Structure 1
């Protein structure tokens, strides 16, 4: 007779799905583009260690880990998967990626400090340059 009380849950168990959602691993899966569903900005998309869950990380942003709130520190493992460091204390000099949801201009901001607020504003400006076109379209040039 086997002891089923000591069996660890599988990678697609309800607990793992909940944890993936809690960490923000809600990115659209390939073949869909890695665009934020809220602001439409293109992001870096990484598979996580949760079965069939992906996360959007801010492109080209790797920052000192101690400047990022706990639970928002992501690292890329050797197998090219994103792993949330959760509340682990970063080692001195450690760097990490940040999730796009932390700096998305359409999501509710938290009190995370000046650089995150500035990065959110930078994304808002970037989004405006990409998507805010004149109401009347391009103006005609008189010759």
Structure 2
């Protein structure tokens, strides 16, 4: 047997980097703050099984796996890493997490169940609260 491209040494095998990007495991690693670079919300950042790659999961959202479209289901393994289930059919009663990118109000919309659309609207409202300062909060007059 000879060497092939999947036996590359180093922190990232070429297939890990492309697969991580395809799945949306593009969050900056610690010590960077766990904030979405698009909307500014604080998120749940988890390591993945792709060496050196992290994913932002929507904090506090655990849903019935059968309600999430294929390739959008993330589970936490016993070691605390996030794993995308891709097309695997969830077991009855299984729950999963969703990546923030599916509900980020600043990213392109995709066809999604109505609850994902509602969660995206909720995040839009939360993100606006980060940036909208009431007019009554004006700075004091100098002088």
Q: TM-score, normalised by structure 2?
A: 0.89
In the alignment, the residues of structure 2 paired with residue 140 and residue 50 of structure 1 have an alpha-carbon distance, to the nearest angstrom, of 47
In the alignment, the residues of structure 2 paired with residue 127 and residue 73 of structure 1 have an alpha-carbon distance, to the nearest angstrom, of 24
> In the alignment, what sits opposite 1:9?
7
> In the alignment, what sits opposite 2:39?
39
> In the alignment, what sits opposite 2:66?
66
Could you tell me which runs of 5 or more consecutive residues in structure 1 were left unpaired when the two chains were aligned.
Answer: none
In the alignment, the residues of structure 2 paired with residue 18 and residue 7 of structure 1 have an alpha-carbon distance, to the nearest angstrom, of 13
In the alignment, the residues of structure 2 paired with residue 55 and residue 117 of structure 1 have an alpha-carbon distance, to the nearest angstrom, of 20
Contact 2:71 2:85 in 1 (8 A): yes
Per-residue CA shift, 1:32-78, capped at 9, x if unaligned? 00101110100000000101000000000000001111111000000
Per-residue CA shift, 1:78-111, capped at 9, x if unaligned? 0100000111000111100000000000011111
SS at match of 1:50: coil
Residues 140 and 27 of structure 1: CA distance in aligned 2, closer, same or farther (over 3 Å)? closer
- C-alpha displacement at 1:9, in angstroms? 3.4
> In the alignment, what sits opposite 2:49?
49
CA RMSD across the alignment: 2.0
> In the alignment, what sits opposite 2:137?
138
Could you tell me which runs of 5 or more consecutive residues in structure 2 were left unpaired when the two chains were aligned.
Answer: none
Per-residue CA shift, 1:1-37, capped at 9, x if unaligned? xx12589535721111100000000001100001011
Q: TM-score, normalised by structure 1?
A: 0.89
In the alignment, the residues of structure 2 paired with residue 131 and residue 17 of structure 1 have an alpha-carbon distance, to the nearest angstrom, of 33
